[in-house]
Amino acid sequence: MGINRRDFLKGAAGSGLLLAADASPALAFGPRTPKELPPDAVGILFDSTLCIGCNACVFRCKQANPHMALRPEFNVPIGGLKIHDTPIGLSENTLTVIKLYKHDGGHSFIKHQCMHCIDPACVSACPVTAFTKDPKTGIVKFCKRVCIGCRYCQLACPFVAIGFKWDEPFPEMVRCQLCDHLIPLGKYAACCSYCPTGAALYGRVADLRKEASRRLDLEYGEPYRFPVNHIESGRKSFRPAAKYYPNIYGDTEGGGLQVMVLAGVSPLRLGLPDLPDVSNAAVSEGVFKTIYKWFAAPIVLLGALVYLAYRNTEEYRKPKDEDD
């Protein structure tokens, strides 16, 4: 059963083919084209310099999503409303949370929630299309009906913004859906409509981006009329501008987010990840789609393999005496 040099080389070429099928596109991949922000997309601008940590948003969010808006068919309190608890982070009971960043010079609050990525990893990852991005509002929606609970979405989400009901025998995923169940009622995100300071501000992302850059242009201490609740609500809070860290988190981070953050310190110190401008979804899909474009590579590979296998099982196909 010696293997001669020629066969070895031939075989090596064959296995090289196997690897090349993977390698060449993987080496020559680029991210897929980033997704665009729908023109009428809605979102939230969170201004940490305005937030007073009152938790109205957390409380109202729980009230607006009693045992989660994700299942309106069961929209009755089960086992009591967990409304006024003290959540330590996002979880199956908490779609948004105010967290505290403390340092010697003071403190900042940060609102954590699903950031409604423009190019969301969860949508790209879910095998059964339980996540979808609304083409009009850009809201990343979740439909639990098809979800099989593989939790790949949780793994993929850069903000760890998806909760799973770990302690239930028949669990489901939960996360902020930008209160899209309130939009038909003529209302909008509960957290914003009850934020007294305007720290959490709802509106069209395009408007919010303009508002955010206006704020960054303010001098420290310059009086400014900060819109409250909804950017079009007309409610304003008049106060001097704080010192801003010159970055709108979510303008480009992670391919852009519909929930943006302004802060007095670097948003990275507020527990937000340092994301590249190309979303992880685009990178992953870039590799994936290059390999599986038109399904060509696998088909070519299959052809080659069928040939090799056919040639190498010649003897096997011949009927043998002992078989009969």
Partner 1 sequence: MECHEVDKNGKKLGGGVSRRDFLKFCAVMAASIGLPLGAGSKIAEAITDPNRPPVIWLSFSECTGCVMSLLQAHHPTLDTFLLDLISLDYTRMFMTTAGHTATALRDKSIEENKGKFILVVEGAIPTKDNGIYCKSGGRTALDILKDVGPKAAFIIALGSCTVWGGAAAAHPNPTGLKGVDKILTDKTVINLNTCPPSPYNLLSTVIHLLTFNELPALDDKGRPKFAYSRTVCNNCERVYNFRAGRFAWQFGDEGHKKGYCLFALGCKGPQTFSNCPSILFGGAGAETWCVGIGHPCCGCAEEGVGWTLPLHQLGDPLYHFPPSHFARIDEPVGMGATAAAAAVVAGSVGIAVGAGAVLAKRLGKEEKKAKELSEKEDATVAKEE
Partner 2 sequence: MAASEPLGGKIITKPFIFFSVIMFITLIFLVERYIFGLGSMTNMNDGFTWGIWKPWLIYIGTAIGCGGYAMAIMVYIFGKGTKAHYYPLLRFAILTSLFGYTLGGTSLIVDLGRYWLFYEFMLPWNWNLTSVLLEVGLCMALYIGILWLEFAPAVLEKLKKKKLLRVFKKVFFVVVAFGLLLPTMHQSSLGLMMVIVGHKLSPLWQTNLLPLLSVVSAVMMGTGAVIAGWIGTAHIYKRPYETNILSRVSVVMMGLIGAYLVLRFGDLIWRGQIGLIFAGDVNSFAFIIENILHIIPLLILASPANRISPQKLFIAGTCLLSGGTLWRHNYLVTGFCPAPQWVFFPAVGEVVIVLGFVAFAMAAIPVMLKVLPVAPKSDH
Binding site for partner 1 (CB under 8 A): 52-60, 84, 86-89, 97-102, 107, 109-110, 194, 196-197, 237-239, 269-271
The residue within the footprint of ligand SF4, chosen from 31, 38, 159, 226 (CB under 6 A), is 159
Is 48 within 8 Å of 262 (Cβ atoms)? yes
Distances (CA, A) of 291 to 144, 192, 262, 322: 30, 43, 39, 45
Binding marks (x or -) toward ligand SF4, 185..204, rule CB under 6 A? ----xxx---x-x-xx----
Can residue 116 be called a binding residue for ligand SF4 (CB under 6 A)? yes
**DSSP codes joined into one string, 184-203:** GGT---HHHHT-SSSSEEEE
The residue within the footprint of partner 2, chosen from 73, 104, 222, 323 (CB under 8 A), is 323
The residue within the footprint of ligand SF4, chosen from 82, 99, 151, 239 (CB under 6 A), is 151
DSSP 8-state class, residue 241: -
Can residue 87 be called a binding residue for ligand SF4 (CB under 6 A)? no
- Give residue 30's Cα distance to chain centre: 21
The residue within the footprint of partner 2, chosen from 49, 113, 177, 280 (CB under 8 A), is 280
The residue within the footprint of partner 2, chosen from 46, 109, 164, 188 (CB under 8 A), is 164
The residue within the footprint of partner 2, chosen from 29, 101, 194, 224 (CB under 8 A), is 29
Whole-number minimum distance, CB 207 to partner 2, in Å? 29
User: In the complex with partner 1, which residue's Cβ is closer, 57 or 122?
Assistant: 57
Please list every residue from 299 through 318 that binds partner 2, using CB under 8 A.
301-302, 305-306, 308-313, 315-317
Can residue 205 be called a binding residue for ligand SF4 (CB under 6 A)? no
Q: Assign residue 259 a region: left if phi > 0, alpha if psi is -120 to 50, beta otherwise?
A: beta
Can residue 279 be called a binding residue for ligand SF4 (CB under 6 A)? no
Please list every residue from 65 through 94 that binds partner 2, using CB under 8 A.
89-91
Which stretch of DSSP H or E encloses residue 101? strand 97-103
The CA dihedral of 233, 234, 237, 240, to the nearest 10 degrees, is: 120
Find the part of the chain contacting partner 2 (CB under 8 A) among 49-57, 165-173, 192-200, 209-217: 165-173
User: In the complex with partner 1, which residue's Cβ is closer, 132 or 247?
Assistant: 247
**DSSP codes joined into one string, 11-70:** HHHHHHHHHHHHHHHHHS--PPPPPPPPTT-EEEEEETTT-----HHHHHHHHHSTT-TT
Is 20 within 8 Å of 28 (Cβ atoms)? no
Is 74 within 8 Å of 147 (Cβ atoms)? no
Find the part of the chain contacting ligand SF4 (CB under 6 A) among 30-38, 169-177, 287-295, 304-312: 169-177
Select from partner 1, ligand SF4, partner 2, none the partner in contact with residue 19, using the beta carbon and a kind-dependent cut-off of 5 to 8 Å: partner 2
Q: Which amino acid is at 86?
A: T
